[in-house]
Amino acid sequence: MSKYGAQDIQILKGLEHVRRRPSMYIGDVGLKGYHHLLREVVDNAVDEFLDGHVTKVWVKLCTKTQQAEIRDDGRGIPVSIHPKAGISTLTAVFTKLHAGGKFGKGAYTAAVAGLHGIGVKAVNALSTSLTVWTKRKKKVWVQEFVRGEAVADVAPSDRKLAQGTVVQFTPDAKIFGDARWKPAQIAAWLRDTSYLCPGLKIRLTVDGKHQDYHAAGGLAELLKKTVQDRELLADPIILSTDEFDLAFCWTDLEGEHWRSFVNVIHTPSHGTHVQGAKRAISDALNDLGDRYRGEDLRDGLMGVVHARVIEPQFKGQTKVKLENAEVETTIYEAVYRHLQRHLAENSTVAKKLRDRAQRLQKARDKFRAEQKAIKGTRVKKGARGLLPGKLVEAPDCTPAERELFIVEGLSAEGTVTAARVQMKKQKQVIHYQEVYPLRGKLANAARAADLATIAKNQVIKDLFTAIGTGVGDAFDLRKSRCAVIYLLMDADPDGKHILALLLSLFVRYMPDLIKADMLRVVQNPLFMGVTAKQRVYGNTVAEVKQQFSGKDKPIIRRFKGLGESNPTELQEYALDPKTRSVLRVVWDDENEDQLVLKYMGADSTARKELLGIE
């Protein structure tokens, strides 16, 4: 029996616990956690803006060194000795957990960076180096840190700084591995921040190139950007109070789509601020007659809500969801009263929305009957292993072992079926890869009115059956017939278009497959080079030639379609896990469906540009 005594109890000093358990403070140590460090520092500058002390924020990134620098023109950080900590207040802010100016109601009204006093301490602890400059008492002061430990005391600096604070840091590769700044993601976040902080000027500099963000229109301008080219069923509704801003409208889009923020923090899992708005919208519309389901009344709604909360209660340090119950009540009451007046003055709008909800209810009843038929489809006896849609089965393995390849047409099916890889199981060799050939026209899910409409397409209906999870209300990931789905299309514009149609289908009606990391795109090549000793693949002739020595004279062939490859070639570049090249399809942001609508909607210009079609 092992001994257990006082000597076994560890007491970690300073920020050592943050380095030992970083995910407790920033969510993870991948790309999101990496960017979370930047957000923590920028959020502090935005806090100064919200309290009326900052007008400009500069964010500078170097993608080579991964160094980040954030500057504001605010009040600066106090440098005098803190009466309780006994050290400079600046040092305490960056090294003492739970030290901050946001616990009470004196320093800030509504804080972005949270109330736990942890944010910049986590940045400091998880950076190889961090330096802070601040202007106080008509002097510029500086302090340097290495992995959370102060190198020296706060001291005067020669750096020129008119006012405000500069924080410069480099995330620690020992913590984050290969994670790197993603300028496009950062730019999108800073752009949103400018909408949420009308009047704030933000400059993003990446490797010396500048981009400025400044939006005076607030949420109304952000909603207009979010709606883009969608058809509006009614004019946008804008509501602004001391506690929150709200902008929403109904479009021809299926479902409802919210973007939510608290004190400028994006809350991807929403929370009580969205709950209050949704409940108020449903109740105001239901008060006008027969009651309908809230999701039917809000179908097509696109909304943005930004709550200002003095002491927000978030789910976790990463602030993904607001949990303040009083916020739901405040927003509900204000939105309900406003919408009652608005609907009374716009009775035609109210009737249009209620009629739409009634149609959706009828469509749902009809679709449930279709869904029941899909769910009840079974393999017939004597079908030689074929499910509806001519799925070539792999019946001798479990769903956890099985791979499903969706291919383009019967010609490709024959070659892929012949090229399938086998596995050893229970002293026998068995197939574990299934093949489903698309036949006929695949409907565009981005343009379908609803799920009932898309389910009428026989190709899609058979595909749902082949996957096995069901769809809509009946979706159950546990019933999936396979572990991974591979999309294998020809490497030409037509193949890319079919791939885009499939991705649209999964994003709109089976997003949980993507979120469960079950979707892959096979990167099949356009060209093959062959010599007596070697066979290589590439997307251009030059790429193929580069893989041979100067003495070789390969025969280079262009693939016009998967059916032209022989089984050995196809197995090598598409099916064999040891040699195939695939892309994971990831759900990186709550607005993935907006990208689908942009590229797969009624306007074909963006789609043709993406697919390289003249």
Mapping DSSP to helix (H, G, I), strand (E, B) and coil, where does residue 468 land? coil
Q: Which residues pair with 528 in a beta bridge?
A: 537, 557
Residue 115: name the closest of 99, 103, 97 by CA: 103
Residue 587 near residue 517 (C-beta atoms within 8 A) = no
Pair type for strands 535-538 and 555-558: unpaired
* Residue 405: partners with Cβ closer than 8 Å, 6 or more residues away: 416, 433, 434, 435, 436, 486, 488, 522, 575
Q: Is 512 a catalytic residue?
A: no
Q: CA 195, 197, 199, 204 torsion: positive or negative? A: negative
Q: In the structure encoding, which two tokens stand for residue 351, read together?
A: 């009737």
Rounded Cα distance, 113 and 345, in Å: 41
The neighbour count for residue 480, using CB atoms within 10 Å, is: 23
Contacts of 362 (CB under 8 A, 6+ apart): none
C-beta separation of 73 from 163 below 8 A = yes
- Are the C-beta atoms of 520 and 585 separated by less than 8 Å? yes
User: What is the 3-class SS of 357-371, one letter each residue?
Assistant: HHHHHHHHHHHHHHH
Give the distance, in angstroms, between the CA of residue 505 and the centroid of all CA atoms in the same chain: 18
Residue 408 is a catalytic residue: yes
Scanning the structure block, which residue is given the tokens 């994670």? 179
Give the C-alpha separation, 527 to 544, whole Å: 7
CA distances from 471 to 444, 462, 508, 509 (A): 16, 12, 11, 7
> Which tokens in the block code for residue 49?
């803006």
Q: Which of the residues 229, 355, 365, 494 is marked catalytic?
A: 494
Cβ-based neighbours of 534, under 8 Å, separated by 6 or more: 547, 548, 552, 554
Q: Do 327 and 335 touch, CB atoms closer than 8 A?
A: no
Alpha-carbon distance 608 to 614, whole Å?
7
| 490: annotated active-site residue | yes
Cα–Cα distance, 443 to 166 (Å, whole number): 53
User: Of 328, 408, 434, 572, which one is the catalytic site residue?
Assistant: 408
Q: How many residues does the chain have?
A: 614
Q: In Å, how far are 235, 251, 257, 351 from 358, measured between CA atoms?
A: 21, 16, 20, 10
Cβ neighbours around 294 below 10 Å, total: 17
* DSSP code for 154: -
Answer yes or no: 396 catalytic: no
3-state DSSP of 532-579: CCCEEEECCHHHHHCCCCCCCCCEEEECCCHHHCCHHHHHHHHHCCCC
| Residue of 603, 500, 609, 606 lying closest to 229 (CA atoms) | 603
Which of 43, 172, 490, 569 is labelled catalytic?
490
CA-atom Rg of the chain in angstroms: 29
Strands 519-522, 484-488: pairing is parallel
The answer to whether 463 touches 389, Cβ cutoff 8 Å, is yes
Looking up tokens 């480099």, which residue turns up? 170
Active site (catalytic) residues: 408, 490, 492, 494
